[in-house]
Amino acid sequence: MAANAASAGLKAYVFIPSDLEQGKILNSLIYGATVIGIKGHYDEVNRLCAEIAGKFGWAFVNVNMRPYYAEGSKSMGYEIMEQLGWRAPKHTVVCMASGSLLTKIQKSYQEFIKLGLVPEADYQIHGAQATGCSPISTAQKAGLDFFKPVKPNTIAKSLAIGTPADGFYALKTMKETGGSAEDITDDEIRQAIRLLAECEGIFAETAGGVTVGVAKKLIAAGKIPANASAVLCITGNGLKTMDAVNGHVGYPREIKPSLREFEALVASDEKELSR
């Protein structure tokens, strides 16, 4: 939002929970936006933004401009179908904060099917959350149509919405498509970030880790057959949430710029391996 406002020459205010990842804070400040850190969770930030929107008449991407923002996210679904050669995937795994993206992926699939751009097909859309903020997945697993709000506590801060605005519709979409929801712990999120990076060369932020880890769990549970094709929605770059994995991926091994020191390092590794 800050980048697009800068590019369009608009003045921008960015409202964030004050404990947001350093990378995301800097990534708003750099564009010249006025960044307001709110001492509270996303839910409290959203409530305050709604109040400001009403009082000041300002346009908030996530409040009074939300319909445009939400419709815009359909483009992710359009691109998935286009890149698969104009078909909807059998399985799609989407991370859920407000739950909006999951419902818009469904809307995009339905639109292309109605337009005849994509053949009608049976597909499932699955939802992914962090266990530390899992109101939607908890409700889905219990077979409920409504979620119970929670207080978030997870490293996946971009998903830390305890009162998800589109939670009801996300549950409805999963029910309609026969999809499942699941959630994973912070440690599993870190492991999933590494798994994706080491296997695919893609470094995802924590939300992407949630999607990968939940997909793995759904495959293990037989909800996604291991031989079925599936699309995992990786929604952010890992450079934005480096704090989450820093210290969990090892460290560089330091040597002097000397061939002898490097040979000693390799020799000790080989000795270690042959043991």
- C-alpha triplet 272, 274, 275: angle, nearest 5°: 70
Residue 198 interacts with a copy of itself (CB under 8 A)? yes
Go through 106-135 and write b for each residue having 16 or more CB atoms within 10 A of its CB, e for each that does not: bbbbbebbeeeebeeeebbbbbbbbbbbbb
Q: Return d(Cα 19, Cα 106) in angstroms, integer.
A: 32
267: Cα within 13 Å, side-chain hemisphere: 6
**Cross-strand pairs, 231:** 92
State both tokens at 100.
């909006």
Total of residues contacting a copy of itself (CB under 8 A): 64
Site string for a copy of itself, 128-167 (x = CB under 8 A): ----------------------------------------
Footprint (CB under 8 A) of a copy of itself, residues 56-115: 56
Q: Return d(Cα 117, Cα 98) in angstroms, integer.
A: 29
**Cross-strand pairs, 267:** none
Q: How far is the CB of 35 from a copy of itself (least distance, A)?
A: 4
State both tokens at 163.
């009162």
Q: Return d(Cα 136, Cα 181) in angstroms, integer.
A: 8
Residue 258 interacts with a copy of itself (CB under 8 A)? yes
The single residue among 252, 273, 274, 275 that binds a copy of itself, judged by CB under 8 A, is 252
SS3 183: strand
The single residue among 23, 110, 111, 191 that binds a copy of itself, judged by CB under 8 A, is 23
For residue 243, which of 19, 53, 3 has the smallest C-alpha distance? 19
Q: Which stretch binds a copy of itself (CB under 8 A): 14-22, 131-139, 152-160, 168-176?
A: 14-22
Cβ closer to a copy of itself: 54 or 225? 54
DSSP 1: -
Residue 236 interacts with a copy of itself (CB under 8 A)? no
Cβ closer to a copy of itself: 138 or 237? 237
Residue 189 interacts with a copy of itself (CB under 8 A)? no
Q: How far is the CB of 249 from a copy of itself (least distance, A)?
A: 4
**Cross-strand pairs, 232:** 93
* Angle at which helices 100-114 and 74-83 cross, to 10°: 50
Q: Which stretch binds a copy of itself (CB under 8 A): 5-13, 64-72, 132-140, 143-151?
A: 5-13
Cβ closer to a copy of itself: 67 or 201? 201
The single residue among 11, 26, 145, 149 that binds a copy of itself, judged by CB under 8 A, is 26
In the complex, which residues of this chain contact a copy of itself (CB under 8 A)? 2-8, 16, 18, 22-23, 25-27, 29-32, 34-40, 44-45, 47-48, 51-52, 55-56, 193-194, 197-203, 237-240, 242, 245-246, 249-259, 262-263, 265-266
